């Protein structure tokens, strides 16, 4: 056997294996830290300490397929006055004054061939935490659930015959 | 030494290290997606929720009412406005394609100034200052040349022209001049009437493509379908008189293959018979009319037209049988020759003699063509330009450098104008001749209005903000800023929008009903306009022109130049959807071709696709030949709309411009430009030519795919072909040629007995099909193999009923499907290989096509969503499967591209992504920026190696069900419409829930005329077809 081919084979196998391993780790260990955001917005303070309803900001969640991230005017509604002297709020005000959009880093990403509909799930009574985890305890939001198809399907299967919120196992509901 | 150990342990560990590091480096997470929030959330937009804006279509001069669907601030789909009187909810293929005009990647990006042979980008301020200075200096020597504008834009343009000392000339190639001239002469009213097809019971068209470009095609198609529906008296005949059978004519019961240019003789001959035999109503003018047509006896007509004398009489009697409810129609471009006005006058006489004027020919809602220049006026302007009468010319919304033949010398005259400014959004042929381009915004991103017909004031509302990559301005705004720069003042508003609103005070006074203007405005914008029932202007016969027999033609072949259902006069040619949409006569795409009779081809020694040279006194072109039985042997036809020398990547250098063949000529009475009447020589060409046929075979080979039912059988409650020759279907003949008795498989067996079911068993909804096998076959799957645990909650069975009697082959559905489902355009070479991606196609079958009784059938064909689907059982990865609501699903991410499903689909309903049409780096990329802005975010853009097909717009089904759940109610029948059923001008496609016995689709699927394509395969389709009603015209009357 040619040494080069063997070397390439070992390299490729290990590369694939280590990717698989690290990916599944990062998913399973919940990746305690989410991505660093341009402003250190804390859900722990807003949703936890201040007990704000998730839908106060993410108002699309019950009427659109997307939960939506709030407009900066929503932030400024309070922060024009509230704790306006804190460094992170000064950053926010800076963006606002410059008329610049905050480049939030996306935490939850689905591939293009998956269509998830927030409205359907929220309207049938799901709590945001069931999928997004204890957001009210997160200083930095991270991806709590795997968002893999098996994870979706297991819940759908459990609720297949639910009287109140019957789920469907039809592929086309998400893949169209 | 063994070969098994190839490197030492140390080497191995090194490799491990490198491998892991490589994986970590190479597979580091790609830069994370960013989410950008709004600074201030708009009140009316919630991302993820579609919004709909009522507006007006500006793709042709008609101005149908439309509703534009927008997502996240982008227009993604255009549909007809069901409440609007023009279009009534339908929209043609050209209208659907308006989006590709908006997102045309070749739109002009900013104002440009000519810099030798190239262009230099300038800012608006620079351009306005420069043009304003020229405008101020050219006082009195300015020309403003536009397409047809009605309503506020015209008012603004004419006030602007008056103030700036400019001449406003509105020019449309298809200007209805002959119709106006003839109606002025015969009815004293120079306008284009509304043809009330819905009131008619017999229609004779003299070469007029009323389902394609003439008049108000969408509304007319709706009325025509009503005329062709089942009537208890069996009436509803349609006879097409033309030398080359058009798409409109393909729907006729009889094709009268008349000598080109002699149509008027037949109209007068028919009138002669009706008047002579007193078959029409009593008329005071009868004597005068009879003397006017006295020369046109059936025998004389026969000599002039190639139509037998007895046929003239027969057609006249058939026409008169529906007297008062018949309709003759003329005036299309395909008859606009040297005697165009005489033909329309003759047809007017025929209508009048049969008592149709006031019942089927109505002047209640005539097209609004006020102010449109005649060709004579246009030619005068060209002459003035050539004489240096104009220092500055502005052009907007018209492209005469392309759309007028060379002999009009437009380009020469235009070249003599000192300073030429184009206000076009695209770099078309006329813009290419200009010195400055001030790009106008597209109609879908600017305010405007149209008064397309009497009694209709239609508003044009922007459906999105102007595209950022194109620095364009609305036409009206450019006019106003130019005036300001040139110190020209007028009573107009500060912006075009202010001006529009101010002018609508007049409509407020009329339709306000006590509402404040703001409330009236908001409600009108939401509705798409205001309209009122217009009273018919009744007309009397005003005078009979002297009719002369058509001159005998000389030369080898008559050249028929045909208007295009896809491109209109050529303005649609820059839209890839329309280029890829097969011409519904030849089924060819992406180019030009000449239609010649197969016998003509034989004489010339050419086969389909071979080059032929067409030569007239004006010029010659070389095009591939398309062999068409629907054309006379002494005629050659060439379509308009192709052969652009500019106008963007999709239009440029495709095919030939038929206008190059037109020798100088005008209609004698109206002065209209003569498109017909040229004589041509044909010869074999030498070039290798590309004829790209999407459907080369137009013979059904007795497969009974598109079926008909004779009207007599229908009225007797019988069956059409299905019942009459069921035995002729494939595989049902005995060896000796006899037909088997009905019960062919009666032997009981383990696998042929129906499944045992408990008493009171209700099959699940998804297994429903209206299908009933003709033979009593014992078939194991009278119900699906598995009900599936997932099917328990399902309540629906989505299904379609397609009425072939209503389908006229206009193909609006095809473009609607492209728009809705992100279908890529693949180009001519792949189409030729059968790799088109369309999910719905209109098959054209020519069962009888040689003059006389005519039988052309159109079959909209898409995935049949079979209950026993052949595709599902061969997919090795379950990528295609049956859903709990009866759909045949296709899961893209599961598909591995074996293509077994496509091989096993008897309907050719599936298309495979041979290439990466969605990858920007590939040459096959179908959505160059900003065409990708149009993509529907609710539909996955498929990638290479994936099979796809019609989903019955499952995204719309989910949206409809979601809306019902939001409102906590049951679904309403008709609430969910697929893209094809919504766009259909004749409502030939009905979509709905077969499991709902009250639904329209249920009624049609279980009603009369039903059949299934390839039903002998027992696929139990979810699509039920309704047979086309076939009417005889030879028995001089109704069945």
Task: Report pLDDT digits (tens) over B703-741.
Answer: 889 999 998 888 887 666 554 444 333 334 444 444 444
Q: In the predicted model, what is the mean pLDDT of residues B680-707? A: 90
Same domain? A22 vs A43: no
**pLDDT-above-90 percentage for chain B:** 71
CB-CB under 8 Å, B22 with A15: yes
| Segment B255-277, tens digit of pLDDT | 999 999 899 999 999 999 999 99
Helix (H) or strand (E) holding B830: helix B828-832
Question: Which residues are within 8 A (CB) of B140 and not within 5 positions of it... i.e. 6 or more apart?
Answer: B165
| pLDDT attached to residue B790 | 57
CA angle in degrees (0–180, nearest 5) for B742-B744-B746: 115
Tens digit of each residue's pLDDT (9 = 90 or more) over B139-150: 789 999 999 998
A122 and A172 within one domain: yes
| Partner-chain contact B20 A15, CB within 8 Å | yes
| Pair (A142, A174) in one structural domain | yes
Non-local CB neighbours of B455 within 8 Å, separated by 6+ positions:
B85, B364, B365, B531, B532, B533, B534
Question: Looking at the partner chain, which of B19, B33, B962 has a beta carbon nearest the beta carbon of A10?
Answer: B19
B244, B461, B482, B510 from B524: Cα distances, Å: 44, 10, 30, 13
Of B16, B33, B49, the CB nearest to A109: B33
β-bridge pairing B392-396 and B419-422 = parallel
Residues of chain B with CATH 3.30.70.20: 708-714+738-767+785-1030
Structure confidence by residue, pLDDT tens digits, B570-606: 999 999 999 999 999 999 999 999 999 999 999 999 9
pLDDT at site B533: 86
A103–B938 C-beta distance less than 8 A: no
Q: Is the pLDDT of residue B26 over 50?
A: no
Q: Which residues in chain A are contacts of B36 at CB distance < 8 A?
A: 101-104
Fold of B557-693: Barwin-like endoglucanases (2.40.40)
Q: Distance between CA atoms of B755 and B149, rounded to whole angstroms? A: 67
Quick one: B216 exposed, middle or buried, by C-beta within 10 A (0-12, 13-18, 19+)?
A: buried
The whole-number pLDDT of residue B545 equals 86
**Under 8 Å between Cβ of B859 and B877:** no
- Taking Cα atoms as reference points, which of B754, B763, B1023, B1027 lies closest to residue B869? B1023
Q: Exposed (0-12), middle (13-18) or buried (19+): which is B389, by Cβ within 10 Å? A: middle
In whole angstroms, give the CA distance from residue B416 to residue B534: 45
| A56, A77: one domain | no
- Cβ neighbours of B885 in A, within 8 Å: 170
**B30: closest CA of chain A, how far (Å):** 12
Contact map slice: B 39-98 vs A, CB within 8 A: 39-41, 46-49
State whether A22 and A85 are in the same domain. no
Q: Compute the distance between CA of residue B555 and CA of residue B673 in angstroms, rounded to an integer.
A: 21
Q: What is the pLDDT of residue B10?
A: 54
User: Scanning every residue of chain B, which has its alpha carbon at the shortest distance from the alpha carbon of A18?
Assistant: B20
| Average pLDDT for chain B | 88
Q: Which residues of A touch B887 (CB under 8 A)?
A: 172
Q: Per-residue pLDDT for A122 more than 50?
A: yes
CB A18 to CB B20 under 8 A? yes
For residue B821, list chain A residues with Cβ-Cβ distance below 8 A.
none
**pLDDT tens figures, B913-971:** 999 998 888 888 999 989 999 999 999 999 999 999 999 999 999 999 999 999 999 99
Query: Which of B30, B31, B37 is the best substitution to test chain A (most A C-beta atoms within 10 A)?
Result: B37
Work out the minimum CA distance from A91 to partner chain B, whole angstroms: 15
Q: Please tell me the predicted confidence (pLDDT) of residue B766.
A: 76
Residue B650, pLDDT > 60, answer yes
d(CA B252, CA B237): 8
- Listed in order, the ranges of chain B carrying CATH 3.40.228.10 are 177-362
- Min mean pLDDT across B22-36, B282-296, B652-666, B992-1006 is at B22-36
pLDDT interval class at B18 (50, 70, 90): very low
Which residue in chain A is spatially nearest to B49 when comparing CA positions?
Answer: A64
On the question of pLDDT at B877 being above 50, the answer is yes
In chain A the first and final C-alpha atoms are separated, in Å, by 47
Is pLDDT of B565 > 50?
yes
CA distances from B144 to B168, B393, B658, B806 (A): 5, 6, 27, 43
Residue with tokens 């220092």: B391
Mean pLDDT of B153-176: 93
Which of the residue ranges B292-301, B390-399, B552-561 would you say has the lowest mean pLDDT?
B552-561
B790 with A104: Cβ contact below 8 A: no
A110 & A93 share domain: no
Residue of chain A with shortest Cα separation from B23:
A15
The count of CB pairs under 8 A between chains A and B is 162
**How does pLDDT run across B794-835, given as a tens digit for each residue?**
788 999 999 999 999 999 999 999 999 999 999 999 999 999
Range of the domain at A97: 73-103
Report the range of poorest mean pLDDT among A140-154, A159-173, B459-473, B526-540: A159-173
Do B35 and A173 make contact, defined as CB atoms within 8 angstroms?
no
Min CA distance, A164 vs chain B (Å)?
12
Among partner residues A103, A119, A166, which is closest to B36 by beta-carbon distance? A103
Give the strands of the sheet with B456-460, arranged side by side.
B448-453, B456-460, B529-531
Could you tell me which chain A residue has the CA closest to the CA of B936? A176
Structural domain total, chain A:
3
- Look at residue B338 and tell me whether its pLDDT is greater than 70: yes
The residues near A147 (Cβ < 8 Å, ≥ 6 apart) are A108, A110
Q: Per-residue DSSP letters for B924-968?
A: T---TTTGGGGS-TTSPPP-TT-EEE--SSHHHHHHHHHHHHHTT
pLDDT tier, B779 (very low <50, low <70, confident <90, very high otherwise): low
Per-residue model confidence (pLDDT) at position B17: 46
**B19–A18 C-beta distance less than 8 A:** yes
Containing H/E element for B588?
Answer: strand B588-589
Selection from B809, B765, B836 nearest residue B994 by Cα: B765
Of A11, A72, A161, Cβ closest to residue B18: A11
**Statement to judge: residues A99 and A112 lie in one domain:** no
Residue A68 and residue B46 in contact, taking contact as beta carbons nearer than 8 Å: yes
Q: Structurally, what CATH architecture does the domain formed by B708-714+738-767+785-1030 represent?
A: 2-Layer Sandwich (3.30)
User: Is A176 in contact with B941 (Cβ distance < 8 A)?
Assistant: no
Tokens describing residue B1036: 């001089």
pLDDT per residue over B474-495, tens digit each? 999 999 999 999 998 888 989 9
A119 with A154, same domain?
A: yes
Residue B962 touches partner A, C-beta closer than 8 Å? yes
pLDDT at residue A25 above 50?
no
pLDDT at residue B759 greater than cutoff 90: no
How far away is chain B from the Cα of A65, in angstroms, using its nearest Cα?
6
Q: Classify B177-362 by CATH class.
A: alpha beta
Element (H, E) at B989: strand B989-993
pLDDT exceeds cutoff 90 at B398? yes
Q: Is the dihedral of CA B428, B430, B436, B439 positive or negative?
A: negative
Burial class (CB in 10 A: 0-12, 13-18, 19+), A98: exposed
Which residues on chain A are in Cβ contact (under 8 Å) with B46?
Answer: 60, 63-64, 68
Contact B427, B652 (CB under 8 A): no
Mark yes or no for CB contact A101/B37 under 8 Å. Answer: yes
Residue A132 and residue A88 in one domain: no
**Alpha helices (H) along B469-512:** 475-485, 496-503, 505-511
Please give the pLDDT value at position B284.
Answer: 87
Cβ within 8 Å, pair A169-B789 = yes
So what's the pLDDT on residue B302? 92
In the block, residue with structure tokens 């390439």: A8
Q: What is the pLDDT of residue A2?
A: 64
> Which of A21-35, A82-96, B787-801, B815-829 has the least mean pLDDT?
A21-35
What ipTM does this complex have? 0.83
- Contact present, B333 and B675 (Cβ < 8 Å): yes
Q: pLDDT-derived band of residue B1019, with 50, 70 and 90 as boundaries? A: confident
A166 in the same domain as A120: yes
- The answer to whether the beta carbons of residues B1004 and B1010 sit under 8 Å apart is yes
Q: Of chain B residues 885-944, which have a CB less than 8 A from chain A?
A: 885, 887, 889, 891-894, 938-941
DSSP string, B650-665: TTBT-S--GGGGPPS-
pLDDT band at B224 (very low <50, low <70, confident <90, very high): very high
- Is residue A156 domain-shared with residue A127, that is, in the same domain? yes
Residue of A nearest to B880 (CA): A171
**Mean pLDDT of the B986-1006 span:** 93
Based on the fold, state whether residues A56 and A136 are members of the same structural domain.
yes
From chain B, the residues in CB contact with A168 under 8 A are: 790, 793, 884
CB-count exposure of residue B876 (10 Å: 0-12, 13-18, 19+): exposed
Q: Do B32 and A16 count as a contact with CB atoms less than 8 A apart?
A: no
Residues of chain B with pLDDT > 70, as a percent, come to 91
């Amino acid at each position: 056997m040619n040494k080069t081919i063997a070397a390439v084979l070992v390299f490729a196998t290990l590369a694939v294996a280590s990717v698989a391993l690290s990916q599944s780790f990062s998913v399973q260990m919940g990746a305690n830290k989410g991505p660093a955001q341009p402003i250190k917005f804390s859900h722990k303070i807003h949703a936890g300490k201040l007990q704000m309803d998730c839908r106060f900001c993410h108002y699309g969640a019950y009427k659109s397929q997307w939960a939506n991230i709030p407009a900066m005017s929503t932030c400024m509604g309070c922060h024009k006055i509230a704790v306006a002297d804190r460094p992170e709020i000064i950053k926010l005000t800076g963006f606002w004054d410059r008329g610049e959009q905050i480049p939030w880093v996306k935490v939850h990403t689905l591939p293009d061939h998956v269509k998830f509909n927030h409205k359907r799930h929220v309207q049938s009574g799901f709590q945001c935490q069931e999928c997004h985890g204890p957001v009210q305890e997160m200083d930095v939001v991270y991806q709590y659930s795997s968002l893999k198809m098996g994870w979706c399907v297991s819940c759908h299967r459990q609720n297949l015959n639910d009287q109140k919120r019957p789920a469907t196992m039809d592929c086309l509901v998400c893949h169209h | 030494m063994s070969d098994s150990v190839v490197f030492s342990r140390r080497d191995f560990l090194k490799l491990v290290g490198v491998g892991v590091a490589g994986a970590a480096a190479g597979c580091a997470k790609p830069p994370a997606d960013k989410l950008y929030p709004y600074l201030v959330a708009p009140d009316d937009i919630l991302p993820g929720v579609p919004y709909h804006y009522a507006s007006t279509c500006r793709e042709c001069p008609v101005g149908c009412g439309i509703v534009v669907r927008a997502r996240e601030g982008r227009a993604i789909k255009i549909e007809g406005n069901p409440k609007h009187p023009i279009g009534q909810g339908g929209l043609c293929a050209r209208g659907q394609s308006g989006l590709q005009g908006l997102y045309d990647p070749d739109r002009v990006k900013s104002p440009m100034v000519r810099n030798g042979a190239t262009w230099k980008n300038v800012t608006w301020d620079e351009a306005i200052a420069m043009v304003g200075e020229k405008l101020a200096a050219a006082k009195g020597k300015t020309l403003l040349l536009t397409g047809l504008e009605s309503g506020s834009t015209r008012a603004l343009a004419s006030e602007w022209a008056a103030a700036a000392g400019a001449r406003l000339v509105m020019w449309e190639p298809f200007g209805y001049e002959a119709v106006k001239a003839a109606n002025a002469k015969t009815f004293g009213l120079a306008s284009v009437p509304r043809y009330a097809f819905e009131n008619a019971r017999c229609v004779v068209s003299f070469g007029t493509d009323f389902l394609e470009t003439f008049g108000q095609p969408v509304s007319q198609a709706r009325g025509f379908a009503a005329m062709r529906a089942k009537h208890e008296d069996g009436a509803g005949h349609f006879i097409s008189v033309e030398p080359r059978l058009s798409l409109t004519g393909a729907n006729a019961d009889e094709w009268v293959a008349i000598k080109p240019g002699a149509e008027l003789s037949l109209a007068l001959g028919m009138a002669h018979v009706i008047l002579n035999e007193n078959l029409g109503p009593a008329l005071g003018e009868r004597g005068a009319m009879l003397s006017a047509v006295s020369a046109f006896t059936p025998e004389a007509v026969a000599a002039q037209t190639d139509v037998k004398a007895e046929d003239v009489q027969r057609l006249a009697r058939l026409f008169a049988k529906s007297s008062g409810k018949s309709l003759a129609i003329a005036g299309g471009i395909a008859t606009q020759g040297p005697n165009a006005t005489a033909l329309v006058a003759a047809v007017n006489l025929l209508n009048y003699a049969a008592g149709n004027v006031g019942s089927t020919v109505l002047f209640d809602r005539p097209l609004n063509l006020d102010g449109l220049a005649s060709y004579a006026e246009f030619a005068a302007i060209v002459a003035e330009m050539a004489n240096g009468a104009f220092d500055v010319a502005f052009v907007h919304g018209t492209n005469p450098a392309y759309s007028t033949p060379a002999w009009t010398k437009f380009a020469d005259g235009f070249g003599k104008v000192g300073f030429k400014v184009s206000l076009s959004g695209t770099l078309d042929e006329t813009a290419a001749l200009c010195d400055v381009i001030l790009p106008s915004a597209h109609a879908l991103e600017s305010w405007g209005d149209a008064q397309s017909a009497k009694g209709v004031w239609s508003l044009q509302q922007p459906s999105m903000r102007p595209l950022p990559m194109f620095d364009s301005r609305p036409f009206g705004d450019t006019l106003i800023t130019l005036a300001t720069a040139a110190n020209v003042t007028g009573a107009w508003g500060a912006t075009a929008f202010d001006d529009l609103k101010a002018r609508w005070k007049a409509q407020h006074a009329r339709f306000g009903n006590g509402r404040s203007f703001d409330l009236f405005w908001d409600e009108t914008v939401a509705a798409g306009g205001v309209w009122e029932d217009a009273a018919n202007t009744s007309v009397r016969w005003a005078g009979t022109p002297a009719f002369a027999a058509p001159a005998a033609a000389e030369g080898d072949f008559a050249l028929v130049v045909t208007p295009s259902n896809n491109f209109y006069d050529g303005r649609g040619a820059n839209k890839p959807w329309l280029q890829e949409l097969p011409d519904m006569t030849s089924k060819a795409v992406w180019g030009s071709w000449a239609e010649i009779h197969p016998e003509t081809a034989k004489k010339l020694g050419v086969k389909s696709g071979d080059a032929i040279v067409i030569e007239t006194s004006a010029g010659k072109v070389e095009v591939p030949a398309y062999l068409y039985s629907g054309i006379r042997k002494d005629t050659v036809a060439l379509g308009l709309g192709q052969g652009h020398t500019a106008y963007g990547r999709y239009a440029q250098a495709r095919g030939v411009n038929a206008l190059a063949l037109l020798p100088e000529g005008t209609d004698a009475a109206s002065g209209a430009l003569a498109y017909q009447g040229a004589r041509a020589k044909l010869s074999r060409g030498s070039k290798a030519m590309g004829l790209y046929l999407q459907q080369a075979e137009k013979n059904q080979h007795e497969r009974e795919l598109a079926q008909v039912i004779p009207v007599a059988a229908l009225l007797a409650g019988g069956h059409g072909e299905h019942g009459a020759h069921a035995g002729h279907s494939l595989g049902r003949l005995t060896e000796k040629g006899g037909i088997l008795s009905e019960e062919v498989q009666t032997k009981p067996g383990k696998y042929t007995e129906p499944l045992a079911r408990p008493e009171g068993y209700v099959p699940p909804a998804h297994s429903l099909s209206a299908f009933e096998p003709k033979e009593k076959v014992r078939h194991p799957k009278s119900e699906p193999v598995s009900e599936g645990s997932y099917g328990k909650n399902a309540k629906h069975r989505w299904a379609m009923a397609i009425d072939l009697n209503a389908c006229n082959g206009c193909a609006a559905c095809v473009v609607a499907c492209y728009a809705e489902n992100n279908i890529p355009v693949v180009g001519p070479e792949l189409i030729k290989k059968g790799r088109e991606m369309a999910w719905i196609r209109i098959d054209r079958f020519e069962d009888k096509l040689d003059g006389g009784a005519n039988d052309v059938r159109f079959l909209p064909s898409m995935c049949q969503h079979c209950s026993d689907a052949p595709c599902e059982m061969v997919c090795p990865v379950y990528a295609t499967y049956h859903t709990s609501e009866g759909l045949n699903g296709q899961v893209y991410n599961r598909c591995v591209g074996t293509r077994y499903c496509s091989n096993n689909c008897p309907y050719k309903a599936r298309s495979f992504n041979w290439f990466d049409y969605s990858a920007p780096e590939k040459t096959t990329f179908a959505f160059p920026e900003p065409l990708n802005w149009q993509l529907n975010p609710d539909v996955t853009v498929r990638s290479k190696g994936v099979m796809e097909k019609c989903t019955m717009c499952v995204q719309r089904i989910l949206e409809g069900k979601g809306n019902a759940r939001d409102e906590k109610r049951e679904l309403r029948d008709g609430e969910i419409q697929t893209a094809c059923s919504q766009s259909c001008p004749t409502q030939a496609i009905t979509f709905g829930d077969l499991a709902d016995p009250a639904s329209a689709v249920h009624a049609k699927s279980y009603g009369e005329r039903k059949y299934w394509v390839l039903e002998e395969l027992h696929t139990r389709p979810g699509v039920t077809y309704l047979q086309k009603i076939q009417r005889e015209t030879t028995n001089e009357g109704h069945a």
